[in-house]
Every structure is written in C-alpha cells, then in structure tokens.
Structure 1
Amino acid sequence: MATVVFYEKPGCINNRRQKELLVAAGHQVIAKNLLSEAWHADRLRAFFGSLPVRNWFNYSAPAIKIGQIRPEKLDEQRALALMVDNPLLIRRPLLQVGEDLRVGFDPQLVDEWIGLTERTGADLESCPKTLAQASCGHG
C-alpha cells in the first residue's frame, strides 16, 4: 500500500472522510495542514497537472462564494499568486504519493491511482456546510 501525504484543512468533514477511506484501504496517511504550509507557486503548480485553472480552486472558499474571486477569469500566474496568499482558495485535498502529486478526491480516480477498498457515491469535495452554518470556517 501507499504512503499518502495528505494536505488538508484541519477540521474539514470531507477531509476526515477521505482520510478514513485511504486508511481503510491500507494506506498510511500523513496529514499536513494545507493552511499553514509555506506554499510557493512552483511547488503548488505541480499538484494541478494538466487540469484547467478553474479546477484548481475550492469553490467553498468565502472569496469565491461572494464573487470576489472568479476562478474562470484567472490565468495560471494570478491564480497561483492568490492561492499562495490565501490557501483557503486551494482545492482540497492535495495528495502526494512518492513523486506523484494530485489535487482533489474523486473516489474513482483515487481507486484507479492507488486503490480504495470502499467507494462512495457521495460528494467528498464540496463543503457540506452552508454559509448559515459557518462553524467549519468554510473554505
């Protein structure tokens, strides 16, 4: 099984569920705080591979929800600068297995990549909280 470095927002319900699926599949998970990591544009960029810029973002982040930031209007350089300044904007989780870096947690893609013993049809990326329930700090 794999050792997965898992960059998360501590306290995020979906990140907890994602880690549980990885552990149930026999993977070792090393959780790191995405928000306190010292990100640099080049390092962060490597996680996104060939995904379009709009798919790099956490659409539950307050700045996106209120329309202050519109990912579909950003180029790569500006998107990375915003994320380095405000890690809440980064789509979660960021995953590292060896030299392979990925973003997001689509159970089917994770299963194809490193294997899961249990798949769920649940959305494990969107924040289950609403703005009215801001206790998770959203984003």
Structure 2
Amino acid sequence: MTIILHGIRNCDTVRRARAWLDAHGLPHGFHDFKTQGVDEAQLRRWCRAAGWETLLNRAGTTFRKLPEAEREGLDEDRAVAVMLAHPSAIKRPVVETGETVLVGFRPEAYERAFG
C-alpha cells in the first residue's frame, strides 16, 4: 500500500500525522501542497471521497481572511476554486492510499484505516 500524505510542512497537525505514521512503521510520501501546488483533478477526487464541506477548512485563518463574497454561497465548484487559489484553505492533512482518502488527523481513524 502506497501512502501519500498531503499538507503543509510546518502545520502541527501534519507533523502529528507524520509522527503517527512513522511510529507505526508505515512508510509514506509527502506532498507539500503549499509549495508544490494541488491540481483541480486531485481536489475533485478528494471532494468525491470526503465531501467538499470536509475538505474546506472554514475554521482556518486563510478562509476567515477571505472577502465575504468568496466565503458566502459556497458549493463544490466555488469551494474548489477557493482551495485552488488558496491551498492553505484545504483541511490538513489529506492522506491517500489509492483506495482511501482521510482528511484531518484523528488517531482512531488512522488506526481503522491502517491498523
């Protein structure tokens, strides 16, 4: 099983997820979507798997600082546009295994997926 962890290198939640994977002996790749970007097809795949409402980090500073017009009346297409323009608005981390997409870090969810 190939595990790719997507996130931002200096994010504390990403660090905790990486530490959990390391502690459980699960090799994984890392994709920093702040520096390496994220493409629309990938965002759409994550939205299908987890839902755009889960993927969009509305509680984060990046989203809260957006103009009100960008934050209101969101649907999947508008949310994807926001996340493409502002990758920091993507909830972190996003972990892909090929068949599974996990958004955020909850040890119990990782245990179910990888345990």
Normalised-by-shorter TM-score class:
0.7 to 0.9
Q: Which residue of 2 aligns with 1:78?
A: 78
Structure 2 match to 1:47: 46
Worse-superposed segment, 79-88 or 46-55: 46-55
What is the Cα deviation at residue 50 of structure 1? 5.0
- Number of residue equivalences: 113
Using the size of structure 1 for normalisation, the TM-score is 0.68
For structure 2, the 5+ residue unaligned runs are none
Distance 1:17 1:74 in 2: 30
Identity of aligned residues (%): 26
Contact 2:50 2:103 survives alignment (8 Å): no
The whole-number CA distance in structure 2 between the counterparts of 1:7 and 1:50 is 15
Paired residues of 2:13 and 2:104 also in contact (CA < 8 A)? no
Instruction: Please identify the structure whose Cα radius of gyration is greater.
Output: 1
What SS does structure 2 have at the residue aligned with 1:105? coil
Unaligned runs of 5+ in 1: 116-139
Q: What is the SS of the residue equivalent to 1:28?
A: coil
What displacement does 1:83 show?
A: 0.6
TM-score by structure 2 length?
A: 0.80
Which consecutive aligned stretches of 4+ in structure 1 deviate over 4 angstroms post-superposition? none
Change (3 A) 1:52 1:29: closer
* C-alpha RMSD of matched pairs (Å): 2.2
Quote the offset at 1:95 in angstroms: 0.9
Of Structure 1 and Structure 2, the greater helix share is in: 2
Which position in structure 2 is the counterpart of 1:89? 89
CA distance in 2, matches of 1:102, 1:17: 14
